């Protein structure tokens, strides 16, 4: 579960960087890394689900309901979102969804939606622990031809910096592997090594400014 959470956080950070990046090579690198993490997240989520299923006590075929017979779900890890002061909107890109074939669960800190029999497959979109509380009875799902729009009603007005709940990962003494910026700095190092002279000068300046305390954002110097 910890690895799954870290992958989701890394994905959100990379998508944010992709939204502000302008240089084609930088966009290409970020897009490639996002695809790789999406694939890894799907595998980790599937492994977690399999482990959880294996830990459940066996149920005899006579007692098991027909609908509960071994359903496999493809995890939908790629989506976009935006917000206003009152609500969050999630855009899950999936074609062929039938509203009557959905199973939707909203709780104060959880969203879990299952899409059954979509072109012969079952899909699942889940955020097991939201950043802040929502009002379940005011949340809704709208099915459109190429996507599903999930609206979450905020329990308290204000801006969310993230969809997922985060512990204080930047407190002193924390391990580097748990620092979200560590992955970004590694990515910048790879971009520096593969970039042209202009990119290297830009990254070197941004890196130097961040290390000297002139700016907390190592990407501030990017065009």
> In the predicted model, what is the mean pLDDT of residues 102-122?
94
**What pLDDT is recorded for position 41?**
80
Structure tokens at 105: 């669960």
Q: Are 92 and 81 in contact (CB under 8 A)?
A: no
Assign 25 a pLDDT band (cuts: 50, 70, 90): confident
Using the predicted structure, report yes or no on whether residue 81 has a pLDDT greater than 80.
Answer: yes
**What pLDDT is recorded for position 218?**
54
Using the predicted structure, report yes or no on whether residue 150 has a pLDDT greater than 70.
Answer: yes
> In the predicted model, what is the mean pLDDT of residues 102-117?
95
When mean pLDDT is compared across 22-31, 49-58, 96-105, the lowest value belongs to: 49-58
When mean pLDDT is compared across 24-38, 82-96, 188-202, 204-218, the lowest value belongs to: 204-218
**What pLDDT is recorded for position 115?**
95
> In the predicted model, what is the mean pLDDT of residues 46-64?
62
**What pLDDT is recorded for position 49?**
73
Assign 32 a pLDDT band (cuts: 50, 70, 90): confident
Can you count the helices (H) and strands (E) in the chain? 4, 8
Q: Where are the beta strands (DSSP E) in the chain?
A: 74-75, 80-83, 87-92, 102-107, 110-118, 121-127, 140-143, 148-153
Q: Which of 59-63, 152-156, 171-175, 198-202 has the highest average model confidence (pLDDT)? A: 152-156
Q: Give tens-digit pLDDT for 195-218.
A: 677 777 777 777 666 656 555 555
Is pTM, for the whole model, over 0.75?
no
Q: Are 139 and 152 in contact (CB under 8 A)?
A: yes
CA distance 73 to 195: 40
Angstrom distances, CA of residue 223 to CA of 23, 31, 54, 188, 191 = 8, 18, 50, 15, 15
CA distance 128 to 207: 35
Percentage of the chain modeled with pLDDT above 90: 38
> In the predicted model, what is the mean pLDDT of residues 9-21?
82
Give the relative orientation of helices 2-20 and 24-55 as an angle to the nearest 10 degrees.
160
More confident residue, 184 or 103: 103
Other C-beta atoms lying within 10 Å of the C-beta of residue 7: 19
More confident residue, 177 or 199: 199
Structure tokens at 182: 């560590």
More confident residue, 28 or 204: 28
Q: Are 223 and 22 in contact (CB under 8 A)?
A: yes
């Amino acid at each position: 579960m910890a690895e799954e959470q870290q992958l989701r956080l890394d994905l959100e950070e990379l998508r944010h960087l992709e939204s502000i990046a302008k240089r084609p090579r930088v966009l290409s690198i970020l897009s490639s890394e996002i695809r790789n993490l999406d694939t890894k997240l799907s595998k980790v989520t599937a492994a977690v689900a399999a482990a959880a299923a294996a830990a459940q006590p066996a149920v005899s075929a006579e007692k098991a309901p027909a609908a509960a017979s071994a359903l496999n779900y493809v995890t939908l890890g790629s989506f976009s979102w935006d917000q206003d002061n009152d609500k969050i909107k999630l855009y899950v890109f999936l074609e062929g969804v039938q509203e009557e074939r959905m199973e939707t669960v909203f709780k104060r800190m959880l969203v879990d939606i299952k899409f059954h029999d979509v072109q012969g497959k079952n899909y699942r979109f889940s955020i097991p622990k939201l950043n802040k509380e929502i009002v379940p009875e005011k949340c809704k799902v709208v099915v459109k031809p190429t996507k599903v729009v999930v609206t979450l009603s905020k329990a308290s007005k204000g801006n969310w910096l993230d969809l997922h709940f985060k512990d204080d990962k930047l407190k002193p003494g924390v391990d580097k592997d748990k620092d979200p910026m560590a992955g970004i700095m590694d990515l910048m190092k790879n971009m520096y090594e593969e970039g042209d002279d202009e990119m290297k000068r830009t990254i070197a300046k941004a890196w130097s400014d961040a290390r000297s305390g002139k700016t907390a954002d190592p990407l501030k110097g990017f065009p």
